[in-house]
Amino acid sequence: MLSVCVHVRSGVATPARREPTCLVVILAQTRSAHAVWDSFKRGLLDPLGCDLAVCVGRNLTSGPATDEYHAHAKFVWEYDEPTDYGDMFEFAARVLGAHSQEWRKVLPAPGHLFGGVLDPHHQHHGSGAVGIFVRWFLSYSLKQSGVDQLYERFVITRSDHVYAFPHPPLELLNASQLWSPTGMDFAGLNDRHLVVSRRDVHRALSLLDRVLLEPVTLLAEMNATTWVTEWNIERFLLFHLKSQGLDSRLGRFHRCMFTARSKSDVSLWSVGDYHSAMDLIVKYPDELKECEINAVSFEFFARNWTRMMQAPLH
């Protein structure tokens, strides 16, 4: 039986400061909290002065989450983690008034975009469907709770980022644009971190809508897209932003974070390399290398993001 639970927590104690105008949202999972929380707080939450929300699947076998992200979140939106994300697509289809199971007509798309959905004819590997659904679920939760009207900016990100140096101040990131760090695009746009305004947040998150409402038309457009031969979440995200007319307002900033996990955490995709100095497994060595290069530049510019933003992107 499908169960979708939305839990909202408020009133988390914070130091005396002005009311935040931005909300940082953790998507999908609170990975590696015990290993990276301090860096996450020091590199993102504290410099930006944002509130925190968690939008994740809930593992029913492990009990209530007790990690630092949940403990510090002002808002928590959760759904019961399914064995088959096709169940979650069906839930969203009912909300949108789409025909049941019609969306499966898009599954022949080549690649591994819909990993996580079980299908006897077109089984994709990976977990792309998780990223597609959880963005829809975040948009749904923001609307249902009215939280989308409380903040001017949203930073949609992952919990397992280690910050080599602080995130750029939001005042340096033009609010009329969407912003993403450089690198890890995999011939599309990296799906791990996005800064977006209230005006654009729902359109930026609505990757699932056309899958459910226009699967045949969508598949035809995907098959006609000459710059993609196999689909992944990064290419589909860029394709979606193009279809929404948002790609022309996409800005990039120097990557300041890399993805890591502790030795005890399991990764379903990248195994990574162990770094004894940090006692962490770095999932993507190229991501760390880019951060290290950018950290040198950040020090050269006297840790001044205004000057850093003027430097060429790698």
Kindly give the confidence (pLDDT) of every residue in the chain, 314 residues in length, as a single tens digit, with 9 standing for 90 and above.
Answer: 445 555 555 444 343 345 789 999 999 888 777 788 999 999 999 999 999 999 999 887 666 677 899 999 999 999 999 999 999 999 999 999 999 999 999 999 999 999 999 999 999 999 999 999 999 999 999 999 999 999 999 999 999 999 999 999 999 999 999 999 999 999 999 999 999 999 999 999 999 999 999 999 999 999 999 999 999 999 999 999 999 999 999 999 999 999 988 766 665 555 677 776 777 888 889 999 999 999 999 999 999 999 999 999 97
Beta strands 257-261 and 161-163, pairing class: antiparallel
Q: Is 217 helix (H, G, I), strand (E, B) or coil?
A: helix
Give the span between the Cα atoms of 117 and 124, in whole angstroms: 7
Domain-located, residue 6: no
Structural domain range at position 148: 22-259
The pLDDT score that the predictor gives to residue 283 is: 84
The answer to whether residues 201 and 140 touch, using CB atoms and an 8 Å cutoff, is: no
The pLDDT score that the predictor gives to residue 266 is: 60
Q: Which residues pair with 23 in a beta bridge?
A: 51, 154
Rounded to 5°, the CA angle 151-209-144 comes to 40
Domain-located, residue 269: no
The pLDDT score that the predictor gives to residue 9 is: 56
Domain-located, residue 282: no
CB hemisphere CA count around 15 (13 angstroms): 5
Q: Which of 52, 229, 309 is nearest to 157 (CA)?
A: 52
What CATH number should be reported for the domain holding residue 187? Answer: 3.90.550
Domain count, the chain: 1
How far from the centroid of its chain's Cα atoms is residue 268's Cα? 16
Indicate the pTM of the whole model. Answer: 0.91
The answer to whether residues 133 and 5 touch, using CB atoms and an 8 Å cutoff, is: no
Provide the H-helix boundaries in the chain: 33-40, 46-48, 68-72, 86-96, 128-145, 198-205, 207-213, 215-223, 233-243, 285-300, 305-308
The pLDDT score that the predictor gives to residue 265 is: 65
C-alpha distances out from residue 143 to 94, 134, 302, Å: 16, 14, 41
The answer to whether residues 72 and 104 touch, using CB atoms and an 8 Å cutoff, is: no
Domain-located, residue 9: no
Domain-located, residue 126: yes
Domain-located, residue 266: no
